[in-house]
Amino acid sequence: MNWTLLIFAGLLEVVGVIGIKRVSVRSNWINNLILICGFAASFLLLLKALETIPLSTAYAVWTGIGTVGATILGMLFFKESKNPLRLLCILGVIGCIIGLRLVE
């Protein structure tokens, strides 16, 4: 159950990061709400997940999901580079997240 919460926490971190990007383009109440609610919900779920998952593992997985999610959304929606080496690095991060889960 707490691993599910951790995954959702990572996905909500991506929502918060998208909020940051949107606020940087245009600061209005909707964009600020996306930013604040995304990170607030993410932190609350991370806090709950930390009750049973070790800090080092939970934080690495949480930031990894956020990094991969933000990178993929940046490529899809913000015209960021789709360099094959960049995609390989994303796969490396995903592999490390899976590895942390397997050795948990």
Domain carrying residue 73:
2-103
Over the stretch 71-92, which tens digit does the pLDDT of each residue have? 999 999 999 999 999 999 999 9
Ramachandran sector of residue 79 (left: φ over 0; alpha: ψ -120 to 50; beta: rest) = left
Q: Which residues, 6 or more positions from 35, have their beta carbon under 8 angstroms from its beta carbon?
A: 16, 19, 20, 22, 23
Q: Which residues, 6 or more positions from 90, have their beta carbon under 8 angstroms from its beta carbon?
A: 68, 71, 72
* Domain count along the chain: 1
What pLDDT, on the 0 to 100 scale, is given for residue 104? 73
Q: Flag residues of the chain having pLDDT under 50.
A: none
Can you tell me the distance from the alpha carbon of 62 to that of 9, in angstroms, rounded to the nearest whole number?
7
- Report which residue type is found at 39: F
What pLDDT, on the 0 to 100 scale, is given for residue 46? 98
Q: CA end-to-end span of the chain, whole Å?
A: 14
- Predicted TM-score (pTM) of this structure: 0.90
